[in-house]
Amino acid sequence: MTDTPTTPISRMPDPGAHVPELADISAALFRATGNRSVPRSTMSLVHLRAGQIVGNTYLTVLNTGFLRKAGVSEERITSVASWQDSPYFDPAERAALALVEATFQPAAPGRERVSDELYAEAARHYDEKALATLTIAIGQIGFFIALAVIGKPQPVETLAARQWD
Domains and CATH numbers, the chain: 21-151 (1.20.1290.10)
| pLDDT tens-digit readout, 82-134 | 999 999 999 999 999 999 999 999 998 999 999 999 999 999 999 999 999 99
Instruction: Identify the pLDDT of residue 86.
Output: 97
- Please tell me the pTM assigned to this model: 0.91
Instruction: Classify 6 as helix, strand or coil.
Output: coil
Is the CB of residue 118 less than 8 Å from the CB of residue 102?
Answer: yes
Instruction: Identify the pLDDT of residue 6.
Output: 64
Instruction: Identify the pLDDT of residue 104.
Output: 96
Is the CB of residue 72 less than 8 Å from the CB of residue 56?
Answer: no
- Does the pLDDT at position 75 exceed 70? yes
Q: In this structure, which amino acid lies at residue 160?
A: A
Instruction: Identify the pLDDT of residue 159.
Output: 84
| pLDDT tens-digit readout, 128-142 | 999 999 999 999 999
Instruction: Identify the pLDDT of residue 160.
Output: 84
Cβ neighbors of 96 (< 8 A, separation 6 or more) are 38, 42, 45, 46, 122, 125, 126, 134
Calculate what percentage of the chain has a pLDDT beyond 90: 87
Cβ neighbors of 87 (< 8 A, separation 6 or more) are none
Across the chain, the runs of DSSP E, i.e. the strands, are none
Most distant CA atoms of the chain, gap in Å: 53
